[in-house]
Structure 1
Amino acid sequence: MRALLLCLALLLPAGPLGAQTAEPFRILNRTGQPATALYAVRAGRTDWGGNLLTHGPLPDGGGFRLRPNADAGCRFDLRLVLADGKEALVRGQEVCVERQIILDAAAARAIRSGAAANPQAPNRQARASTGTGFTVALDAILTNHHVVETCNRILVRTPDGRFLGATPPARVDRRLDLALLTVPGLDLPPLAFRSTPAIRRGEGVVAYGFPLSGLLSSDAKLTRGEVNGLNGLRDDATQMQISAEVQPGNSGGPLLDMQGHVVGVVVAKLNAQAVARQTGDIAQNVNFAIKGSEALGFLRTLNVAPVLAESRGAERSTPDIGDIAQGSTVFVRCER
């Protein structure tokens, strides 16, 4: 059966705020000290832009009103630089839903020194393969087992370009092809898993990840498709078949519904050459994802409590789904 599937880990050789809308949101400083700088950018952006506090510090208890760029979407990363040199940082805030974002004592866990924790640099001389992962809890990344199998070192690259090291060992389920990585210093919001209703054939889905690293550009790629079947190859009940195009490097990436909730983990595509040898015909665009329910079961066996959300109401646009995925999806590098 494995001969008919192509796993999607990719082996590598060694080696400012602008036009305004009418819908503002407000940031409240409840950190216990004044803030000397405030940054608010679209989630996943690799730089923070300019300091918005052009008229002086934001006192403790003070608020700052923002009108975002018309095409900035609904998810924002927010950063306060505090008087003592530390910072309060929150990512992936849904400002279209929560019009008031409070940084208070509850956010103190996000206050850290300005230097990123756990920075590491890739070893360009190592043999490496790559894949994708996404945040499911504090400092926790979900990916495929085959992405991290036999690694001597695992690095993840965050949306803002930092490389962080995973703490071994990865916790894995070889049967499901899932792995959970612990990455100290990760400060990305977890993606929410769809709780209800059950996924149906024909629903739209979006795959997000890092295919063909080193050949294509290094930024993440998004493809849209549909759920074609509710089981995988030869009636594998742990997987579903999808038409969203995936390539080597997509392994371990999130498959999201049109509300931006996780319904699966991208895992493989049909090996067209092997099928052609058996049938004389070339199969086209047959891809697979591990079902979200299976991923949830795996996480719960590890005492991880993922975020759950119902998928009801109006669908979001594909670019909005991409914005949701961007702030919580990482590039995974496995060095041997």
Structure 2
Amino acid sequence: MRVLPSMLIAAACAGLPMAAWAQPKPPPLDAAPAPGGPGGKPLPGAGQQPTALPTTKPPPLPPGANPFGGPGGGGRRPVSSGTGFVVAPGRLLTNWHVAEGCTELRARTARGVEVPATLTARDTERDLALLTTRGEVGPPLTFRQGPEVRRGEGVVTYGFPFAGMLSAGATLTTGDVSALSGLRDNQRHFQISAPVQAGNSGGPLLDMSGRVIGVVVSKLNAQRIAQVTGDLPQNVNFAVKGREALDFLRRHGVEPATGAAARPGLTPADVGEVAEPSTVLLRCLR
């Protein structure tokens, strides 16, 4: 049986679902996000149109699931949450669908300090966004420069799934690089087996030496595939490749730290300690 592509995907999205934690309905693969950033102002990269992005609009937080415990300026309320990480002093990288449509963005650091963040640049095709923060948010993570990522390499994700429902702190998961391309053979993505959930979007994907090799972006919608095929897929998730993130950052004047992967010798706990001071919980307010 042919599986319809529009039924395959669900974002590892920026927000939490409503009551009953039902997965949101994804748009067709060829759907383009609304033009412009918050307030409708055009941003760098705004002319690019996605062709097959496995992302959805962030669903709202359920009542009472406020990971920060209060409104923002001007009476704005948090409507969704996601993950970001430090790529340069005062600069954060996340997914565009985490920041899309937000009137205000806030970042909570590993020390529990909350700082404002502003959208500086976006790439809708890659689903990446660059944020600028007021104040120091942590040390930049180092991107892997080489060797090339291989199938079967161990990976670690670090982020904030289901903020306000699960742990108030970050969550670490482990897995492997399952394939060197994503949905529909998308060469900008890795397929990974590390579990990701709503709220992991924008978080770092790290190798076993603590180098960034990708940005968590999406997952297959297992429930919908099961409805069509009768089979439940297991841990089929996707990350934007590190080289794509590096190209995006450099195009917008950010030169992240890079380095060759050391011989894998760190444990997942060690990699988590690398990621922890540099990974932030993001909240979107409207």
> Does the TM-score normalized on the shorter chain lie above 0.5?
yes
Give the 3 Å change call, closer, same or farther, for CA 166–229 of structure 1 in structure 2: same
User: Does residue 207 of the first structure (1) align with residue 157 of the second (2)?
Assistant: yes
User: Does residue 266 of the first structure (1) align with residue 216 of the second (2)?
Assistant: yes
User: Does residue 198 of the first structure (1) align with residue 148 of the second (2)?
Assistant: yes
Which of the numbers 258, 265, 276 marks the counterpart of 2:226? 276
User: Does residue 136 of the first structure (1) align with residue 87 of the second (2)?
Assistant: yes
Q: Contact 1:205–1:227 (CA<8 Å) still a contact in 2? A: yes
Q: What is the CA distance between 1:125 and its match in structure 2?
A: 6.3
Counterparts of residues 26-45 of structure 1 (less than 5 Å): none
Count of aligned residue pairs for this structure pair: 230
User: Does residue 251 of the first structure (1) align with residue 201 of the second (2)?
Assistant: yes
**Deviation digits for residues 36-95 of structure 1 (CA, Å, limit 9, x no counterpart):** xxxxxxxxxxxxxxxxxxxxxxxxxxxxxxxxxxxxxxxxxxxxxxxxxxxxxxxxxxxx
Of stretches 320-329 and 179-188 in structure 1, the one that deviates more from structure 2 is: 179-188
Give the 3 Å change call, closer, same or farther, for CA 323–295 of structure 1 in structure 2: same
Letter of the structure 1 residue corresponding to residue 84 of structure 2: G
Counterparts of residues 86-97 of structure 1 (less than 5 Å): none
**Deviation digits for residues 284-309 of structure 1 (CA, Å, limit 9, x no counterpart):** 11111110011011111101101001
Q: What is the CA distance between 1:282 and its match in structure 2?
A: 1.4
Q: What is the CA distance between 1:274 and its match in structure 2?
A: 2.1
The match for 1:224 is 174
**Deviation digits for residues 248-272 of structure 1 (CA, Å, limit 9, x no counterpart):** 0100000000000000000111001
Counterparts of residues 35-74 of structure 1 (less than 5 Å): none
**Percent identity of equivalent pairs:** 52
Q: What is the CA distance between 1:122 and its match in structure 2?
A: 4.3
The match for 1:13 is 62
Q: What is the CA distance between 1:315 and its match in structure 2?
A: 1.8
Q: What is the CA distance between 1:185 and its match in structure 2?
A: 0.3
**Deviation digits for residues 182-234 of structure 1 (CA, Å, limit 9, x no counterpart):** 00102411000000000000000000000111110110000010000000011
Letter of the structure 1 residue corresponding to residue 204 of structure 2: P
Give the 3 Å change call, closer, same or farther, for CA 294–2 of structure 1 in structure 2: farther
2-structure distance, mates of 1:335, 1:4: 29
The match for 2:241 is 291
Letter of the structure 2 residue corresponding to residue 6 of structure 1: A
Q: What is the CA distance between 1:173 and its match in structure 2?
A: 0.4
Q: What is the CA distance between 1:6 and its match in structure 2?
A: 1.3
Unpaired stretches in structure 2, ≥5 consecutive residues: 17-60, 65-69
Q: What is the CA distance between 1:14 and its match in structure 2?
A: 5.2
SS in 1 for 2:97: helix
Q: Which is richer in strand? A: 1
Letter of the structure 2 residue corresponding to residue 200 of structure 1: R
Q: Contact 1:154–1:335 (CA<8 Å) still a contact in 2? A: yes
The match for 1:185 is 135
The match for 2:183 is 233
Unpaired stretches in structure 1, ≥5 consecutive residues: 16-120
- Structure number with greater CO (CA < 8 Å, separation at least 6) is 2
The match for 1:319 is 269
SS in 1 for 2:146: coil
1-structure distance, mates of 2:138, 2:109: 8
Q: TM-score, normalised by structure 2?
A: 0.77
Q: Greater Rg, structure 1 or structure 2?
A: 1
2-structure distance, mates of 1:296, 1:174: 15
Counterparts of residues 163-178 of structure 1 (less than 5 Å): 163-167=114-118, 169-178=119-128
Q: Contact 1:242–1:289 (CA<8 Å) still a contact in 2? A: yes
SS in 2 for 1:10: coil
